[in-house]
Amino acid sequence: MIVPIKQIVSRAHKNKYAVGAFNTSNLETTLAIVRAAVSQKSPVIIQTSESAIHYSNLQTIFGIITSVANSIGKSVPISIHLDHGKDLGLIKDCIKIGYNSVHIDASEKDFATNVFLSREIGSLAHKKGIWAQAELGSILGKEGLVKLETGEINMKDLLTDPLQAQEFVALVKVDTLAVAVGTIHGSFQGIEKVDERRLQKIRSLVNIPIVLHGGSGLSVQMFKQAIKNGVSIINIDTNLRLAFKEALVKSLKPDSDLIDPRKILEPSTKAMQAEVEKMIKIFGSNNQA
Integer Cα distance of 180 and 288 in angstroms: 27
Q: Is position 81 an interface residue for ligand G3H (rule: CB under 6 A)?
A: no
User: Using the rule CB under 5 A, is 213 a contact of Zn ion?
Assistant: yes
Does the annotation count 110 as an active-site position?
Answer: no
Among 25, 28, 30, CA closest to 2:
30
Closest CA to 198 of 186, 216, 188, 212: 212
For residue 213, give Cα distances in angstroms to 96, 166, 236: 25, 19, 7
Calpha distance 183→102 (Å, rounded):
21
Give the chain's largest Cα–Cα span.
60
User: CB of residue 146 vs Zn ion: minimum separation in angstroms?
Assistant: 18
Q: Which does 237 bind (CB under 5 to 8 A by kind): Zn ion, ligand G3H, none?
A: ligand G3H
Per CB under 6 A, the segment of 51-59, 92-100, 211-219, 269-277 that binds ligand G3H is 211-219
* CA pair distance 23, 89, nearest whole angstrom: 21
C-beta of 216 vs 273, nearer to ligand G3H: 216
* The binder of ligand G3H chosen from 81, 84, 119, 203 (CB under 6 A): 84
230 makes contact, choosing from ligand G3H, Zn ion, none, with CB < 5 to 8 Å by partner type, with: none
Q: Please report, in angstroms and rounded to a whole number, the separation of the first and last CA atoms in the chain.
A: 11
Residues 170-189 that bind ligand G3H (CB under 6 A): 185-186
| Minimum distance of Zn ion from residue 172's CB (angstroms) | 18
> Counting contacts by CB under 5 A, is residue 103 touching Zn ion?
no
Residue 235 interacts with ligand G3H (CB under 6 A): yes or no? yes
| C-beta of 35 vs 198, nearer to Zn ion | 198
Residues contacting 93, CB < 8 A, separation 6+: 58
Nearer to ligand G3H, 45 or 265 (CB): 45
CA distance 173 to 6: 15
CB of 192 to ligand G3H, least distance (A): 8
**Closer residue to Zn ion (CB): 13 or 213:** 213
Query: Does position 105 bind ligand G3H by CB under 6 A?
Result: no
Q: Which long-range contacts (CB under 8 A, 24 or more apart) does 169-172 make?
A: 169/206, 169/208, 171/115, 171/119, 172/115, 172/118, 172/119, 172/122, 172/134
Rounded CA-CA distance 201/229 in Å is 9
Could you tell me which stretch among 12-20, 25-33, 66-74, 214-222 binds ligand G3H (CB under 6 A)? 214-222
By a kind-dependent CB cut-off of 5 to 8 A, residue 216 interacts, out of Zn ion, ligand G3H, none, with: ligand G3H
Can you give the binding site for Zn ion, defined by CB under 5 A? 213, 235
Q: Which residues are catalytic?
A: 83
